[in-house]
Every structure is written in structure tokens, then in C-alpha cells.
Structure 1
Amino acid sequence: MAVTNQPGRYEPSDFQTGLCDFCDDCGTCCYGLCCYPCLGCSIASDMDEFCLCGLSMSIRSVYRTRYNIGGSLCKDFMAVMCCPFCATCQLKRDIDRRKEQGTF
């Protein structure tokens, strides 16, 4: 029998919420509005990275790669540069949902 998937890999997917789905988690949205750098540090902490990395394009790319989420470096760059607040909140919502599902 041929192995078609690597062990521990996730099937290709997408982020569990859209880029502008603020109402899906108002708490995260309010947290980001009140202290955007703190939200970035929270993401970095979740990902076991240095605090300043939480607001960067690279953390989004690492997360997408880890969970096999579709996209590209160009799309990550555009999301983070055009709407950094939206991209950061989306990432935090996805992390929180994966924690709830036990897949983080």
C-alpha cells in the first residue's frame, strides 16, 4: 500500500473565519483595538515565538504552513500590509478555534 499523506499533516484547508469576520469573536476584536501590540504578543506566545514576531507577515506564513492553510507569501504580505488589524485578529481567532477543537 502506498503512503499518500505524511503522518501528522493536515488536509489542505482555509482559515476558519474570514479576514473581516470581526463579529465572530468580539472579544478578540476589542482586545486588538485596546492593545494591538498585546494581541501580537499573545499570538507569538501561542506559537512559542518571540513577542515582536506576533504582528509580522512571517508568523502568519508559519501558521499557514503548520496547518496546511491555502495561500501564499504574497497574499500574507497583502493581508498584513493592507489591513494588519484584520489579519492579526483573523489569526488569533483561528488559533483560539483550533485550541477549542484540540488541534492546536
Structure 2
Amino acid sequence: MTSKFVIQQQPVDLLQSRESDEWGSEICDCCEDKAECCFAFCCLPCFACKISREYGQCLCLPLLDLFWIIPPVTYGFRVSMRERYGIRDTMCRDCLLATCCRACSWCQMSKELKRRTIPIALIGAKPTA
């Protein structure tokens, strides 16, 4: 006897387009999400690892920034996020923000990731006879 799986997907209201060529928040907009900003300023390595995992990269990748004056991972994440979402900015500004405002930079990327992530739901998967 074989069984078949039937998948029915219901429409989801969360699939709205949120595309823009600008960052969703400014670099010092800490009032938008105070809990995340406090986490970033109290324990930046832990916060950066959390965001790295949410972005789909290796959990420990941001720890490499601890050994450099110009943090290559923070810089790389900013450039990657700009490329992925089509955000207009310059590599020079990315380098400056990654070096001088590292915690604010990670907060901005976290907010952007939340703003642009579109959840996908698979509803009604059940075996039938």
C-alpha cells in the first residue's frame, strides 16, 4: 500500500514586497529596538554571532573580527547585505562604519534583516490514504 502526501498552501498576507534601495534605519536609530541595541553594546560578539546565524552564515564567523583593526567580517556582512537587498551605499562608508561604529552597524543590519525577511509557511501537510 502506498500513501500520498497532499500539500495545500493557503495564501499568506506576509508576502508583501518591502524593497527599497535605502537602509530601513539610520546607523544611530537605537530607539527602534532598545533591547537589541542593549544586547549589541553589552556583548557585541554574541550579538554578531546571532545575526550571522540569522543571515545564513557560520555562527562563529564574526569572532574573526576580534583580531583585526578593520573588522573584515562586519565589513563583509555590510557589503553582502547591501548587495543582497540592493541598498545604495559605498564600500568606503561600509568600511568606516564597520571600523568606527561596529555595534551600531550590527544593530542596523539586524533591523534590516528583520525588515526584509519574508516568512514562508507550509500549511496543511498531511498524509492521505
TM-score under structure 1 normalisation? Answer: 0.78
Runs of 4+ aligned residues of structure 1 deviating over 2 Å after TM superposition are: 51-55
Q: Is the 8 A contact 1:57 1:77 kept in 2?
A: yes
Q: Which secondary structure state, in structure 2, belongs to the residue aligned with residue 23 of structure 1?
A: coil
Instruction: Find the residue that maps to 1:18 and give its secondary structure.
Output: coil
Where in structure 2 are there 5+ consecutive unaligned residues?
A: 1-17, 63-72, 120-129
Gaps of 5+ in 1: 1-9
Q: Which is bigger in relative contact order (C-alpha 8 A, separation at least 6)?
A: 2
CA contact (8 A) 1:53 1:59 kept: no
- Structure 1, residues 45-75: CA drift from partner, whole Å, max 9, x if none? 0121123434521011101100000112111
Q: Aligned letter for 2:21?
A: S
Is the contact between residue 17 and residue 90 of structure 1 (CA under 8 Å) also seen in structure 2? yes
The match for 2:98 is 80
Aligned pair count reads 92
Q: Does 1:26 align with 2:30?
A: no
| TM-score normalised according to structure 2 size | 0.64
RMSD, matched Cα? 1.9
Letter in 2 for 1:14: E
- AA in 2 matched with 1:45: R
Does the 8 A contact of 2:19 with 2:116 survive in 1?
A: no
Deviation at 1:25, TM superposition (A): 0.8
Q: Distance in 2 between matches of 1:83 and 1:33?
A: 11
SS in 2 for 1:17: coil
Share of identical aligned residues, percent? 29
Whether the 8 Å CA contact 1:12–1:70 is kept in 2: the answer is no
Task: Answer whether contact 1:45 1:51 (CA < 8 A) is retained.
Answer: yes
Equivalent position to 1:38, from 36, 43, 46: 46
* Distance in 2 (alpha carbons) for counterparts of 1:66 and 1:58: 12
Aligned to 2:86: 68
SS at match of 2:88: coil
